[in-house]
């Protein structure tokens, strides 16, 4: 294993310290590294809080800032944060309008965020489950929450910034999640620092079709195919799951898993866009890059979010975070 680290025991703390120092103009690191929060809070605004295991950076800490999250709780690598982290974040960022938790559908995340929500006042939750690859996995009951979580956080974050009330933001988040589908393909495994070896073994001529963001098995192990062939199957699965809704304006998000060059991600975007547009989708908004990663895994996911006028306007609304910045 070759990684830039001093010790596997301190890699997360040191990374968080560096992240907070690099972006000190927009965020603050909470006591005992329990959470990352916006430096400037907006009184009377619903606070958005998310989080999950580390190793998916820039999700979620990189999405803390104006127009997105108010706080993010980082767990250890691929391990859910604990309820006390979420409660500390609520205390730090709730300015009186309540809090909305945005939670990826993984059993540890759901259980711990549920516990925190029960102990805190004025908290509602949106659970994302956009992955169409499998219905259940080693980490979940039901579909996994993956790259579509970013889309929910951006659109709901803009709504919160504009003053929407907590119940309305919950409805909006559920609506965006219902309009969003994703699927990923891995070419290599990621390597968890504490393990010191790849999470799974995969041959040079193989790919894992439908992989999860922790390296969980997908639909099948298959021979490596061309980009067009991969995109065709992924897009067909996404469009098939959306059914009649897979027509009209949409956001196309091609996400890298941490070890894939931008050149290849844009190539996959080109393939996916052509596939979707053949099926009646009109891509009006796009995002390409490594935003919901799996450490150093090579591969990508494709996410399609069907848009209406409100969702499009909220996607376009100003955002200023470490990972996403526009309109400011």
Write the CA distances from 268 to 67, 120, 149, 226, 297, integer angstroms. Answer: 28, 43, 20, 10, 16
Provide DSSP, 149-168. HHHHHHHHHHHHHTT--HHH
Confidence tier at 217 by pLDDT (50, 70, 90): confident
Q: Write down the mean pLDDT value for the chain.
A: 96
What's the helix, strand, coil split of the chain in %, to 5? Answer: 35, 25, 40
* CA 328/CA 326 separation, integer angstroms: 6
Could you say which of 23, 56, 60, 66 is catalytic?
56
Q: 137 pLDDT exceeds 80?
A: no
136 has a pLDDT exceeding 90 = no
Does 306 have pLDDT greater than 80?
yes
> pLDDT digit string (tens) for 81-132?
999 999 999 999 999 999 999 999 999 999 999 999 999 989 999 999 999 9
CA angle 145, 146, 148 (to 5 degrees): 95
Lowest mean pLDDT among 40-44, 170-174, 184-188, 218-222: 218-222
Question: pTM to 2 decimals?
Answer: 0.96
pLDDT tier at 138 (50, 70, 90 boundaries)? Answer: low
pLDDT computed for residue 328 by the predictor: 81
Task: Provide the pLDDT confidence category of residue 322 given band limits of 50, 70 and 90.
Answer: very high
pLDDT reported for residue 134: 83
The domains located in the chain, with CATH, are 11-178 (3.40.50.10440), 181-326 (3.30.1180.20)
56 is catalytic: yes
User: Mean pLDDT lowest for which of 198-202, 224-228, 257-261, 263-267?
Assistant: 198-202
pLDDT at 135: 76
**66 catalytic, yes or no?**
no
- What are the residues whose beta carbons fall under 8 Å from the beta carbon of 313, sequence distance 6 or more? none
The residue from 23, 60, 66, 214 that is catalytic is: 214
How many whole angstroms separate alpha carbon 243 and alpha carbon 240? Answer: 5
pLDDT > 70 fraction of the chain, expressed in percent and rounded: 98
Looking up tokens 């799974």 gives 200
């Amino acid at each position: 294993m070759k990684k830039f680290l001093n010790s596997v025991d301190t890699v997360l703390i040191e990374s968080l310290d560096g992240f907070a120092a690099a972006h000190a103009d927009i965020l603050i690191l909470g006591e005992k590294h329990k959470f990352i929060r916006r430096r400037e809070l907006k009184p009377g605004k619903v606070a958005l809080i998310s989080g999950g295991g580390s190793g998916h950076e820039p999700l979620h800490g990189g999405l803390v800032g104006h127009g997105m999250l108010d706080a993010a709780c980082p767990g250890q690598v691929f391990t859910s944060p604990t309820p006390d982290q979420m409660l500390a974040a609520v205390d730090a960022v709730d300015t009186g309008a309540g809090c909305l938790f945005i939670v990826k559908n993984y059993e540890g995340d759901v259980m711990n965020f549920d516990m925190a929500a029960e102990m805190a006042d004025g908290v509602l939750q949106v659970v994302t489950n956009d992955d169409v690859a499998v219905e259940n996995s080693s980490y979940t009951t039901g579909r996994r929450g993956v790259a579509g979580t970013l889309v929910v956080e951006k659109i709901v974050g803009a709504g919160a910034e504009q003053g929407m009330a907590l119940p309305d933001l919950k409805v909006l988040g559920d609506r965006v999640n219902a309009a969003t589908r994703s699927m990923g393909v891995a070419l290599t495994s990621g390597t968890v620092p504490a393990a010191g070896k790849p999470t799974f073994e995969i041959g040079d001529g193989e790919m894992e079709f439908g992989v999860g963001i922790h390296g969980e098995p997908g639909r099948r192990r298959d021979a490596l195919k061309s980009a067009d062939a991969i995109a065709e199957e992924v897009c067909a699965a996404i469009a098939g799951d959306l059914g009649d809704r897979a027509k009209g304006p949409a956001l196309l998000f091609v996400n890298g898993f941490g070890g894939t060059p931008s050149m290849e991600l844009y190539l996959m975007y080109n393939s996916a866009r052509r596939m979707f547009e053949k099926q009646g989708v009109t891509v009006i908004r796009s995002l390409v890059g490594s935003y919901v990663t799996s450490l150093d895994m090579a591969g990508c996911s494709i996410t399609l979010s069907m848009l209406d006028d409100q969702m499009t306007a909220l996607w376009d609304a100003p955002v200023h975070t470490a990972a996403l910045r526009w309109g400011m």
